[in-house]
C-alpha cells in the first residue's frame, strides 16, 4: 500500500508504547486513525495527541479478548469513516512466570489478549476490507520471542507461546490473502521502551481484575533501555508501504534465531542418518 494518505487505520493497544507510535506514524503519513485501548483515560489523551497532527480520529474503549466488543468497535469505525484499510492488531500483555506456576487465570488472560485479540481483529476486519475492494494491510504484533526462546529472560515461556501463535497465524493469513490486494505483516520486536510489563493494572475483572505487576527489576531495566517505539513505528510504516511480511527491529537478535534453526536442521540430519542405517 504505497499511498497511505486518506486511508483509515484501526490500531489496538493505541494508548501508549508501540501502538501510539504507530498511530503517530500513520497520522503523519496522512491516515485517519481509530485508536482502541482498554485504558480510557490514557486513550483519550492519545487521541488528542494524534488529532493535533491534523487528521480525523476517534477513540474506542476495547478489550480485544472480547470478540463481540471487537465487532462493535468495527461498526463504530465504519460509522465514523465508512471503511477501514489498515488494521494493526497490536494490543498485548506480558505476564512473566514459570510454566509450572502459571495459573488458569493467567493462561486465559495472556492467550485472550495476545493471541485471540489478533484472531478477533483478523476475523472481524478482513471481511470488511475485502468487501470494499480497495485493498488494505494487516499488521499483527508478535515478538522476537515468537521465533525463539531467550533463556536470559526467565519466565518468558507463556508469553513466547502466544507470540509463536501470532507468527503462525500471520503466515497462514498471508497465504489465504494472496492476490486479494490485502497485505500482511508480522512485527517481531525485541526490547522496546514500553510499559507492556506493567500490565497488571489493566487486567479486566473477568480475568481476575487489576493487580500490581511483580515485574523483575532486570526486565524493567531492559524495557527502560529499549528501542524507541517511534523507530519501531517507522519500520512498520515502511513494511506497509512495501508489502513486507517480517518486520524485525533488532538485527543483533539474528544469531539466536539462527541457532534455533541450526538445531532444527541438525535434527533433520540426525533423522536422515537414522533411516540410512536401516536400509
Positions marked catalytic: 159
**End-to-end Cα distance, the chain:** 53
- Which grid cell sits at 48? 488528542
How big is the CA angle at 155 (ends 268 and 172), to the nearest 5 degrees?
50
* Rounded Cα–Cα distance for residues 147 and 149 (Å): 7
E strand intervals along 126-257:
136-141, 182-188, 246-248
* Rounded Cα–Cα distance for residues 45 and 55 (Å): 15
* Rounded Cα–Cα distance for residues 79 and 173 (Å): 26
Strands 136-141 and 57-61, how do they pair?
unpaired
Amino acid at each position: 500500500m504505497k499511498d497511505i494518505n486518506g486511508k483509515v487505520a484501526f490500531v489496538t493497544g493505541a494508548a501508549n508504547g508501540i501502538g501510539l507510535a504507530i498511530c503517530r506514524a500513520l497520522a503523519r503519513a496522512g491516515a485517519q486513525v481509530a485508536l482502541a485501548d482498554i485504558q480510557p483515560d490514557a486513550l483519550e489523551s492519545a487521541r488528542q495527541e494524534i488529532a493535533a497532527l491534523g487528521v480525523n480520529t476517534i477513540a474506542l474503549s476495547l478489550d480485544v479478548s472480547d470478540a463481540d466488543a471487537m465487532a462493535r468497535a468495527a461498526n463504530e469505525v465504519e460509522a465514523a469513516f465508512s471503511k477501514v484499510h489498515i488494521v494493526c492488531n497490536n494490543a498485548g500483555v506480558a505476564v512473566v512466570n514459570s510454566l509450572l506456576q502459571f495459573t488458569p487465570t493467567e493462561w486465559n488472560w495472556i492467550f485472550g489478549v495476545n493471541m485471540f485479540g489478533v484472531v478477533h481483529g483478523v476475523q472481524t476486519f478482513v471481511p470488511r476490507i475485502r468487501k470494499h475492494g480497495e485493498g488494505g494491510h494487516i499488521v499483527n504484533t508478535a515478538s522476537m520471542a515468537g521465533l525463539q526462546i531467550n533463556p536470559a529472560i526467565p519466565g518468558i515461556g507463556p508469553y513466547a507461546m502466544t507470540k509463536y501463535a501470532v507468527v503462525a497465524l500471520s503466515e497462514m493469513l498471508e497465504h489465504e490473502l494472496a492476490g486479494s490486494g490485502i497485505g500482511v505483516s508480522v512485527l517481531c520486536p525485541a526490547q522496546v521502551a514500553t510499559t507492556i510489563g506493567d500490565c497488571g493494572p489493566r487486567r479486566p475483572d473477568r480475568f481476575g481484575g487489576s493487580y500490581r505487576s511483580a515485574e523483575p527489576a532486570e526486565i524493567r531495566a531492559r524495557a527502560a533501555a529499549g528501542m524507541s517505539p517511534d523507530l519501531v513505528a517507522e519500520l512498520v510504516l515502511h513494511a506497509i508501504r512495501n508489502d513486507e511480511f517480517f518486520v524485525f527491529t533488532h538485527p543483533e537478535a539474528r544469531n539466536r534465531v539462527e541457532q534455533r534453526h541450526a538445531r532444527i536442521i541438525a535434527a533433520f540430519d540426525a533423522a536422515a542418518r537414522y533411516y540410512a542405517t536401516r536400509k
